[in-house]
Structure 1
Amino acid sequence: MRARLTRATAVALAALTFSACSARSPSAPAPTLAPTPTATASSTGPTPASSVEPAEPTTTNTLPPPPAPTAPAPSTAGDLRAAALPVPAGWRTVAKEGGDEEGFRGNGTWVHARDARYAAQDVITIGCADVTRDDYPDPVAALEGSYVDRDGNPGVGLALEFTDAEAASRYWSRYTDQVRACTPLADPVHIELVPLSGAGADELVDRRTYPDSEWTEVAKQSGTRVTLVILTDAGHRITAAKARTLLTALG
């Protein structure tokens, strides 16, 4: 990933800089194209093929750098409240101070509103395929929460609220495509999808392996909302049963 889950999570997730992949992940290097050799008048043999890297996808629908936070972030976002982010078993919530690097100022609670445009972009560019802002709709609200486990390892939850279920479904489809694009890769990021009996197209569990960390993500689209929880998971010990319990709590 020119990794990102959210700007706030860049610090917490390190390799993920739920703040850090780009429109193309470094784990998914651009293919090279070898044009057909051509001959010139002075050539006695084929001209060696040259590698041409295709350009990154372009769009005029871009975002400026986010402004530095100047006040505590709200603890709600639109209709989103802390209850939108369930606390995984074995984890607890933690209030973050935030700061310029984290992209928000703490408000004394474990949740904070985010600019929905940046939250959506940060999350969807975690994947390993090309994507621009033309490829997905922006949510109307975003709320992020912070967890820690018994050893103090970080986890992040993010709820995105869209104008309608169709917009949420479009975003979800593009996001899950991004995740699946990482599954054939081995380095520096590998994602393994976790099959769950009875899981629908609106549910996702995946295990992520980075050079220096391992994570498990549980995510779901429910009506107008997309909710994602990503947790430190050394050794990938979060079982499918535990992931199913968390999925159920997502709504």
Structure 2
Amino acid sequence: MKALVVAGVLAVVLAGCSSNSAAQQPGPGVVQQSPTPVIPSTVGGTVPVPPATLPTAKPTDAAVPPEVPEQATAPPPANAGPLTARNLPAPEKLGAGWKTYTDPGGAEAGFIGNNTWTRRRDPHQASYEALPSGCAGQPVNGSLPVPAYALTGSYRTADALPATALLLRFSNSNQAAAYYAGYQARMNACDTGGDLSAKQLWVDTTAAAAVRAYAGAESYVDVSVVHGSTVALLATTSTKPDQQADWARTVVPALEAGMG
């Protein structure tokens, strides 16, 4: 799956999109149909998701791939620790005609649907998959903190295109700032011509917007925000991503409102 960390909103959640690079998305991270940033979608069964029992050594580096997930037989919870649907933007705050979307999950999606629009993610897997991969630019090295909790929400835009929001809650604001800085460094280093190309739309101190374009797939807008101990990644598929700079600025307050 090329996504989203849409998924993770953006898979993306960040997820992903329909590229093996976008497996790091959820988000904003979904994304076959049109690629879903951060979070992909299909139908259910017993599918691979993060294991209920974590490895004996607690993961400490979000830049390192997580353990291969076990097979799951139950859907993930709708909440992640203190993070609930109330921490994610209401769809009308993201744009006229936006709606929440109950993702059915499935084998390709990597999770079993839970009959709601939010789901808990494994923090290590979500934070790793949200990072850009497959870029033509020079890779950025260095470890990144692993969040304590990760929650993703699925949406559909007014044009019925997939979008995802991913919240990463860290133990403290220093860890959140370190992850956000590492995320931005990797996005800035992502050049054009590889499996993934990234183009910055604008950058502020605590928020940024970019366009991610996967080879042979649709592009999507990536909005990233850090506030306190939380990083939010919103990813939405767009037919005109280069024209979404102003829209990206309007959704920052909606993301910050639920970040604590």
- TM-score with structure 2 setting the length: 0.70
State the Cα distance separating 1:4 from its structure 2 match.
6.1
CA distance, structure 2, for counterparts of residue 156 and residue 187 of structure 1: 24
Other-structure match for 2:197: 190
CA distance in 2, matches of 1:111, 1:170: 26
The share of aligned pairs that are identical, in percent, is 29
| Whole-angstrom distance in 2 between the partners of 1:114 and 1:75 | 10
Alignment partner of 2:217 out of 212, 223, 231: 212
Q: How many corresponding residue pairs? A: 207
1:14 aligns with 2:18: yes
CA RMSD of aligned residues (A): 2.8
Among 150, 159, 166, the residue aligned to 1:158: 166
Whole-angstrom distance in 2 between the partners of 1:95 and 1:124 = 24
Q: Deviations over 1:152-187 (max 9, x none)?
A: 3211110000000001111111111010011x3234
The change in CA–CA distance for 1:186 and 1:217 in structure 2 (over 3 A counts) is: same
- Structure number with the bigger relative contact order (C-alpha 8 A, sep ≥ 6) is 2
Matched residue SS, 2:124 = helix
Shift of 1:219: 1.1
In the aligned structure 1, how far is the partner of 2:163 from the partner of 2:2? 19
Moved over 4 A (4+): 1-4, 6-12
Secondary structure in structure 2 of the residue aligned to 1:215: strand
Kept in 1: contact 2:4–2:16 (CA 8 A): no
Structure 2 unaligned segments of length 5 or more: list them: 26-63
Q: Identify the residue that residue 245 of structure 2 maps to in structure 1.
A: 240
The answer on 1:227 being equivalent to 2:232 is yes
1:100–1:223 Cα change, 3 Å? same
Aligned pairs for 1:60-139 within 5 A: 63-86=66-89, 87=91, 88-90=94-96, 91-126=98-133, 128=135, 130=139, 135-139=143-147
Unaligned runs of 5+ in 1: 22-60
Deviation, structure 1 residue 238: 4.8
Q: In the TM superposition, what is the alpha-carbon distance from 1:68 to its structure 2 partner? A: 2.2
Bigger-Rg structure (1/2): 1
CA offset digits 1:184-203 (Å, max 9, x no partner): 323443211112xxx63210
